[in-house]
Structure formats: C-alpha cells, structure tokens
Amino acid sequence: PQGNALPQRLESVMEVLYLIFNEGFHSNTKENLIRKELCGEAMRLCKMLLKNTHTRTSAAYALFALMCFHSARLEAKTNADNELLNLKHQDRSLWHFPLIELGNTMMNKAVSDPEYSCYHYEAAIAAEHLRAASFEETNWTKILYWYECLYTIQPLPIYVVTMAVVCLQNLDFAAAKSYLDQVEANDLAQRSYLYYGTLSDYYDAIKDTEKAIINIDLALATVINSLEKEYLEKKRDILIA
C-alpha cells in the first residue's frame, strides 16, 4: 500500500500478528495451552515489518518488544506435570533473559516516538512483571497506571477485569468490585471464565466463600482449555476445604 493507505493497513497487519501470537501464548483450543510455533511465526513476521523502512514504526517495535517479553516466560507457564502456573508460582529462573534484553532494546527504539500505541502500554505492563525479582515485589500501582493508560486508547472489557485483578493484589477490594461492576461476563465472549474467576477471587478475598464457590463453578462451566480447567478445579478444592 502507498501513501495514506499504508498506516491503516499496517495497523490491521499488526492486529493480526498479535492475534496469532496470543493464540500461541494462551490458546483457545481445548488441549493445548501453549503453541510455541505460532508465537515464533508471529515474531518472524513482525521482524519482517521492522526490516522494511516503510513499516518500521514505533508501534511495530513495541509489538515486537511485547512478544519478546511474553515469550521469555513461556517455559515457566507450566510445570513438569504440564499443570498451569500463574505468575505467583512461576519459577523466574526459567525466564529467558536474552529475550528480555532483546525486548528492552526494542522498547528503547519504540519510545523514540512520543505517540504511544496500545502495544507500548502492554509492553510496559509486561516489563513491570519481568522487572520484579519476586511476585511480592511487583509494582502493582505502576501496572494499574499502565492499564489505565491502555484503557484510554483501547477501552476493552478484558482490561477492566484485569484492573480488578490488580486491585485485588493491592488489597483494594472496593476498587476491584467497582471495576467488576462495569462489565458483564458476556462482554468477554470465549474468555468469560476470566470474569467469573476474578469475581470468585474477590469474594474469597472478602471471606464470602459461598459466593466465591458459585463463581468458580460458573468459571468452570465456561472454560474451554483443559489445563485452565484443572487450574480452576484446584482453586475450587481450596475454597471447599
């Protein structure tokens, strides 16, 4: 594409590349949670954008940085028994630091343009997680700020749910519930289980175990991936106990 058509077409291409990457990083299929070949292919194609002077934009650099940051954690997402591990329980020594360093290099190039894309903010969020030496040392206040920035340019319901998750980590239960009240499970389509799971965490945090179990059951009824289902079943067992 030439002239004014190029930026619009490029934006669509980057959206597709990110969709491909996300399907590899967190698959919607029933059996496979991670599909590394899709992550690799998305990164290969994104690298092609960066090699072309007409498509080498700050947003493309930020997208590639984001892919690097996420890919660095792939090996730690599951344990030896192929069970899903959340950030809190991941072995951070398994994170691939050369990819983190490459992501940092790409981000330095991405911020040369003062106009930030959604990929800039998502990469900033991913970088905050990687920067923390432990889960307990995560700067949740900074992450919430980046999500607020992201939401201003891309108001998606999944970001509202994620902001509720961040508030739960900060023990700000009122703010978490306020965010959850702004969305409905159906707004998340295939990922409606994330809403129910977060709502369950909220009720667990305020010691309302009955409602926590009700919502974890709703999450189990809507989740597709078998590994995520096992993860939710373990959380339910803890609630029941």
Tens digit of each residue's pLDDT (9 = 90 or more) over 178-208 = 999 999 999 999 899 999 999 999 999 999 9
Contacts of 152 by beta carbon, 8 Å cutoff, 6+ apart:
none
Taking alpha carbons only, the member of 35, 3, 110, 22 closest to residue 67 is 22
The residues with which 78 forms a beta bridge, in sequence order, are 84
Global model pTM greater than 0.85: yes
Higher per-residue pLDDT: 70 or 4? 70
Confidence of residue 149 (pLDDT cuts 50, 70, 90): very high
pLDDT of residue 2: 83
Taking alpha carbons only, the member of 27, 44, 43, 46 closest to residue 35 is 27
